[in-house]
Structures are given as structure tokens and as C-alpha cells.
């Protein structure tokens, strides 16, 4: 009798342990392209863990690497959610690696900033410009235009992320193209610009390079306003953000639910959280424009450049921008790289 009781108790403990293990495993999720140094994902993931009890590890992919990984893992997905520059979100839908999901607060997202079926939706946006470490430019004048960067005095000082891989690199390219008189049907202005910029030996990394600007390794980087404001207000560096005189574009960043993900319920909870009042406030405090305007507090808004400067930043047809991405990549690789 004692032996049977011991066996029975052992089975009970085993079942309880297994149940707890399943429960613990369920409170995890994987987000591709959620690097802590970009857009303050570090604070967002911490808040997700505190609010939802879901542990999401940091992931330092960029948008292009994320899409490639999702395609490679299509038959055995690892990620639950993914974060992209908008064109990569559109391409992810076309590649069949994401599922539709309309999160809480869906109705507050403007129509042009979400896929009608829910395959992707904007969580925040940034404006492309010049992220400048004033100490690192060695007393030279702060450049005020795209054209300024072609001057020999900035040789070796200008950087931009690889536009064939990183969303910010591609978005910057389209911003330059539009600013210099190009269209989404005519990419020659930006290709010619990059050819000229080669004379100044630009630095072209593939990964987020915030720390390299703060350290002065890259004195001038094509980047978003939110990174520059973070450097200025949070890291107290001698940073200036410039919206070039010729103009630029604004760029939405989107999230998606990965198709056949291992933890879809947790993935949906994370997506809901990014649009919640708390989640949107975290983006706003990181100097991003939350997709829900009510989340941008007066204190956060006061740290942005004046509206008159932002008047030079335009929206574009992001679907078409995604459609021409392959042709841009080919021209850049054949004519610039």
C-alpha cells in the first residue's frame, strides 16, 4: 500500500511539474527585430514583462534580416511577432509569412497606416534626417542639406545604413530621392547622389549605429529624429537633428503576427500592448510619434523641432515604395556599391 501511495504521489508531482513547465513556457514569446538600443525597445520589452508576464528576449536583426529569417523558417516558425519598417511589413504579407490580426485600438489607426485585413499595422513613425554629433565634426559647420554632405570638408564623416538591408537605409534613400526631384518611378536622383557621395568615403554599416554616433565614430548619420532626440535629451550628448532643406519623408514602423507562430496568444497580447495607452506612451517618451496622437504628451512634443521644420517631411505611397524596393536594390548594388 505504501509503495502504491509513493508511486501515486510521484505521478502527481510529475504531472504538476509538467503542467507548471508548460505554463512557464507559455509565458514567453519571440519578437524579431526588437533591439533594445533602437526606438527604446529595451523599455518596451521591460514593460511587457512587467504588465503581461511575458518574457521577450532582445533581438538585434534589422528589417531585411528579419524578413529573410521569416522566409527561411516559413515551415517551422520561431518568432511570434515581428517589427519592420513599413515596406518590409508589406513585403512580409506578400511572402506569406504573417497572419492577419486586428489589435485593440485598431480603429484609432489611420486607414493609410494599416493593412485593411490586419496583416500589418503602424505603431509609431519617425522622420528621416541628419543625426549629428556636433563635437565629432571638429568645428565644421552643421550641415543643413543633403547637398552639404557632398562637400569635401565632410569626407569620412557621413554614414548611412545599407539601404539594401536596413529599413532606415532604404527609407533614407527614398527621402533623398523625393527631396532631389525624383519620384517612385524615377530613382535616378538618389542613385546619382550616392555615386557623388562615394567621393567622401561614407561609412555604410548594416546594423543600428546609434552608439557609433554618440561615441563620435560616425559624426553624421542618415537616421530618424527619435534617435537624435534620444542622444540629445537622454544621453546628454552634443547632438543636433537636421531636417534637410530640400526635404525628406516620414516613415511608419509596423508590427505583424507571424504565421503559424509557436505562441500566437502571447504574440497577440504583445501587439495589443504596443497600441495600449501605456505602450504608446513609451514610444512617445522615446521621441517617436505614436500612431495614436493622443499618446504624445505636451512634454514629449516640446522636444521635437518646430512644426515649420516638419512641414518639409512628406508621406509617400508606401505600397509602391515596397513594390520598387527590389529594383532600387538592384540599381544600388550595380551602380553604387
Q: Are 31-125+251-301 and 126-250+306-335 equal in CATH topology? A: yes
Confidence tier at 21 by pLDDT (50, 70, 90): very low
Cβ-proximal residues to 62 (8 Å cutoff; 6+ apart), any chain:
33, 161, 165, 166, 167, 206, 207, 208
Confidence tier at 6 by pLDDT (50, 70, 90): very low
Confidence tier at 228 by pLDDT (50, 70, 90): very high
Confidence tier at 1 by pLDDT (50, 70, 90): very low
Please give the model's pTM, rounded to 2 decimal places: 0.80
pLDDT in tens, 96-144: 999 999 999 999 999 889 999 999 999 999 999 999 999 999 999 999 9
Confidence tier at 8 by pLDDT (50, 70, 90): very low
pLDDT value at position 327? 96
**Cα–Cα–Cα angle for 150, 156, 158, rounded to 5 degrees:** 60
Which residue ranges make up each domain of the chain?
31-125+251-301, 126-250+306-335
CATH C-level class of 126-250+306-335: alpha beta
Evaluate if residue 286 carries a pLDDT over 70. Answer: yes
- Closest Cα partner for 332 from 215, 174, 183? 174
In 28-119, the DSSP E strands lie at 31-32, 81-85, 98-99
Mean pLDDT of 29-45: 93
Mean pLDDT of 74-86: 97
Q: 31-125+251-301 maps to which CATH number?
A: 3.40.190.10
Cβ-proximal residues to 59 (8 Å cutoff; 6+ apart), any chain:
30, 31, 32, 33, 34, 35
Q: What is the rounded distance in angstroms from the CA atom of residue 317 to the CA atom of residue 215?
A: 36
**How high is the mean pLDDT of the chain?**
91
Confidence tier at 178 by pLDDT (50, 70, 90): very high
Confidence tier at 200 by pLDDT (50, 70, 90): very high
Amino acid at each position: 500500500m505504501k509503495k502504491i501511495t509513493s508511486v501515486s504521489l510521484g505521478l502527481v508531482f510529475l504531472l504538476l511539474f509538467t503542467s507548471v513547465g508548460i505554463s512557464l513556457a507559455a509565458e514567453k514569446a519571440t519578437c524579431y527585430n526588437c533591439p533594445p538600443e533602437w526606438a527604446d525597445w529595451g523599455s518596451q520589452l521591460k514593460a511587457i514583462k512587467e504588465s503581461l508576464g511575458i518574457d521577450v528576449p532582445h533581438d538585434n536583426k534589422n528589417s531585411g534580416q528579419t524578413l529573410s529569417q521569416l522566409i527561411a523558417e516559413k515551415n517551422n516558425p520561431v518568432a511570434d511577432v515581428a517589427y519592420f519598417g513599413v515596406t518590409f511589413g508589406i513585403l512580409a504579407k506578400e511572402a506569406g509569412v504573417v497572419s492577419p490580426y486586428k489589435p485593440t485600438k485598431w480603429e484609432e489607426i489611420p486607414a493609410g497606416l494599416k493593412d485593411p485585413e490586419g496583416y500589418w499595422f503602424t505603431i509609431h513613425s519617425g522622420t528621416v534626417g541628419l543625426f549629428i554629433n556636433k563635437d565629432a565634426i571638429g568645428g565644421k559647420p552643421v550641415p543643413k542639406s543633403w547637398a552639404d554632405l557632398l562637400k569635401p570638408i565632410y569626407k569620412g564623416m557621413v554614414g548611412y545604413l545599407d539601404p539594401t538591408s536596413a529599413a532606415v537605409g532604404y527609407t533614407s534613400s527614398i527621402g533623398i530621392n523625393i527631396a532631389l526631384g525624383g519620384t517612385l518611378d524615377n530613382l535616378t536622383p538618389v542613385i546619382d547622389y550616392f555615386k557623388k557621395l562615394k567621393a567622401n568615403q561614407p561609412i555604410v554599416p548594416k546594423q543600428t549605429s546609434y552608439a557609433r554616433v554618440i561615441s563620435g565614430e560616425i559624426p553624421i548619420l542618415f537616421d530618424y529624429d527619435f534617435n537624435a532626440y534620444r542622444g540629445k535629451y537622454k544621453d546628454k550628448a552634443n547632438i543636433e537633428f537636421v531636417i534637410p532643406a530640400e526635404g525628406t519623408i516620414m516613415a511608419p514602423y509596423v508590427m505583424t503576427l507571424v504565421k503559424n507562430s509557436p505562441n500566437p496568444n502571447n504574440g497577440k497580447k504583445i501587439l495589443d500592448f504596443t497600441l495600449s495607452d501605456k505602450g504608446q506612451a513609451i514610444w512617445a517618451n522615446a521621441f517617436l510619434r505614436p500612431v495614436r496622437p493622443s499618446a504624445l504628451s505636451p512634454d514629449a512634443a516640446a522636444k521635437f523641432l518646430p512644426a515649420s521644420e516638419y512641414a518639409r517631411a512628406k508621406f509617400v505611397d508606401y505600397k509602391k515604395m515596397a513594390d520598387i524596393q527590389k529594383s532600387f536594390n538592384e540599381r544600388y548594388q550595380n551602380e553604387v556599391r
